Amino acid sequence: MENVDWCNQSLIALGQSTITTLTDDNENARRCNALYATVRDDLLVKHPWNFAIKRATLVSITTLSVDEWVTETDYEVDDTVEYGGYYYTCLVAHTSDVFTVDLAAVDWELTTDWVTATTYLLGDKVYYSGVYYSCVEVHTSGTWATDLAAIKWVATVEPEYDYDYAYRIPTDCLRVLSNEDDEEVKIEGGKLYTDATPIKIKYIAQITDPDDWSKEFVTAVVTQLAASLALAITNNRNITADLKGEAEKKKLEARGTDAQGGGTPEEPKCDDWLNAR
């Protein structure tokens, strides 16, 4: 079933007409559209629902450790150095003199790893226009602009202190529950920092398809949405209070069932309290 079906269950419980889509040009559709995702995600994040738990090996977005170029040093072919904020690859084995002289002698070239029509795997790193990037989606490269816009690459970061590695958190992650080896981690700015590599996490995912929910979770969403809509639609504080109490009850029941091993997606059915209203 679709998201709008569960919004309609909430509207029916409040004695309202149903809507066709969440983008209908009427007040009830606008209210449902504004609240639905918030209600869903709030319920998801506050309990480790069986149907919403995922596991993932995170993609490192740590900037590669590269030494700065120094003079009077022996360099081998394919050595990489940093100079003036850019990275260079050694083309000819040599003992460094002055960087501009060595560069003019074609001992170095600006590192530009990325090339078109190439298959890239998760975690692959490339250097492009002065920035290192990590591959976050397996793909065959097209143009740099289109691949970057499609978020197939993200710029790497260099942890300033405390931790050695930075990782990209999955885009559907609402809350990290644990990691495989119980490593110390810190989540800041949508990234996970740790001293461990690799790192595997268990997390609560943003499950948006109602067909993947447990029937108890569906009921909890419908009752909570009705409670959230109640005051604006009915302007009746008693009805609103009753629905808030019912919503809390349904949430507790859903969590209890899930904790006992429930959470397997089933075809949801309209709950008795909806039929009775």
User: pLDDT tens digits, residue range 35-76?
Assistant: 999 999 999 999 999 999 999 999 999 987 788 999 999 999
pLDDT at 1: 66
pLDDT at 77: 94
Exposed/middle/buried for residue 85 (C-beta within 10 Å: 0-12, 13-18, 19+) = exposed
What's the CA gap between 9 and 272, in Å, rounded? 12
Give tens-digit pLDDT for 215-251: 999 999 999 999 999 999 999 999 999 999 999 999 9
What's the CA gap between 146 and 153, in Å, rounded? 10
Q: For residue 268, say if its preceding peptide bond is cis, omega within 30 degrees of 0.
A: no
What's the CA gap between 180 and 30, in Å, rounded? 42
* In the chain, domain spans: 3-49+214-276, 59-205
pLDDT at 11: 96
